[in-house]
Chain A
């Protein structure tokens, strides 16, 4: 099931940082992994990915370098220490958000059954 566009927009940073925390990757790999791991629930606009990555790089969360991958020169992105800290913070905040939403939804369900 595709997630609502507006809802997924705010989570792109968290998802990209998380994917990069598992190893350096280039743009196409990130798009593929994001779609694969989320069972295509998160499909970021592919052309928008690069300015987004460049923004994270300008913010010091990522660095980039060139490397030949399968015979082709690629720009790979690497998560910096600052990026890891931001990721940890975003993960905590995301979990708190999900829990809060869940508890409201559960509360609603309980209210209905009462």
Chain B
């Protein structure tokens, strides 16, 4: 009976709903088995017949998966997964920043005698830096979203939404923090962006309008391509 129930519930992840469904099915099978025993069936035959009457696991599996997708618990879990992906993206971003710094990337100009890759004033290093940072924050989130939303209807939309959410939160955080540092209003976006990316002591030299638009387009494309 255990194997049968596991087969029926294979598409419902560990959750309160799975526990509830399992308990109800178990009680149902027990009642059915007892009634068949009382009707003259042998113990094994009664158990086998009870499972037969409940239905084929292949058919029930799909119904239970659909029922799980309608549960409010499922929606809460989806939101939690989306935000967990954002946290992962944040970790990925910090990890990438740390690695880039360890490799010798710096915002400042090259120091004579030191092996550094200055991203201010050097478009090549700025591109490498921005790309590494984008991949560092996007790939862990993408892997997480693909794992959490596998076998889901509208998977492509969920994955793209998760990537876009992380993209928006990260960029929004940089804008808000920088606005606080420079004492500027976040609503003056062009001026704020110019200040963030250039001038004395920029907070994020790579965060140019081209970078914003490029990463936004790449995020959508990656989500649509990988989520399918």
Contacts and interface: CB of A to CB of B under 8 A. Distances in A.
Interface stretch (A7-15, A47-55, A85-93): A47-55
Given A26-B27, A58-B70, A72-B27, A47 B32 contact: no
Interface string A57-88: 01000000000000011110000000000000
A47 B25 CA distance: 7
Interface residues of B, number: 23
B31 A28 contact: yes
Nearest to B63: A51
- The prevalent SS among residues of A at the interface is helix
Contacts of A46: 28, 32, 53-55
B9 to A, nearest CB: 11
A51 B55 CA distance: 13
Interface stretch (B16-24, B80-88, B188-196): B16-24
A113 interface: no
Interface in B30-69: 30-32, 53-55, 59-60, 63-64, 66-67
Interface residues of A, number: 17
B24 to A, nearest CB: 5
A47 B27 contact: no
B27 A50 contact: no
A52 B27 CA distance: 17
B206 to A, nearest CB: 47
Contact of A45 (B25, B27, B32, B55): B55
Interface of B is mostly: helix
Given A28-B31, A75-B23, A75-B24, A55 B60 contact: no
Contacts of A55: 67, 70
Q: Name which of A31, A46, A48, A55 has the most chain B CB atoms within 10 A of its CB.
A: A46
B55 A48 contact: yes
Given A45-B55, A46-B54, A50-B21, A27 B60 contact: no
A48 B55 CA distance: 8
Nearest to B65: A51
Contacts of B60: 47-48
Contacts of B71: 54, 58
A58 B66 CA distance: 13
Contacts of A58: 70-72
Interface of B: 8, 20-21, 23-25, 27-28, 30-32, 53-55, 59-60, 63-64, 66-67, 70-72
Given A50-B24, A72-B27, 20 more contacts: A27-B24, A27-B27, A27-B28, A28-B27, A45-B55, A46-B28, A46-B32, A46-B54, A46-B55, A47-B59, A50-B28, A50-B67, A51-B21, A51-B67, A54-B67, A54-B70, A55-B70, A58-B72, A72-B30, A74-B27
18 contacts: A27-B24, A27-B28, A28-B27, A46-B32, A46-B54, A46-B55, A47-B54, A47-B63, A48-B55, A48-B63, A50-B25, A50-B28, A58-B70, A58-B71, A58-B72, A72-B30, A74-B27, A75-B27
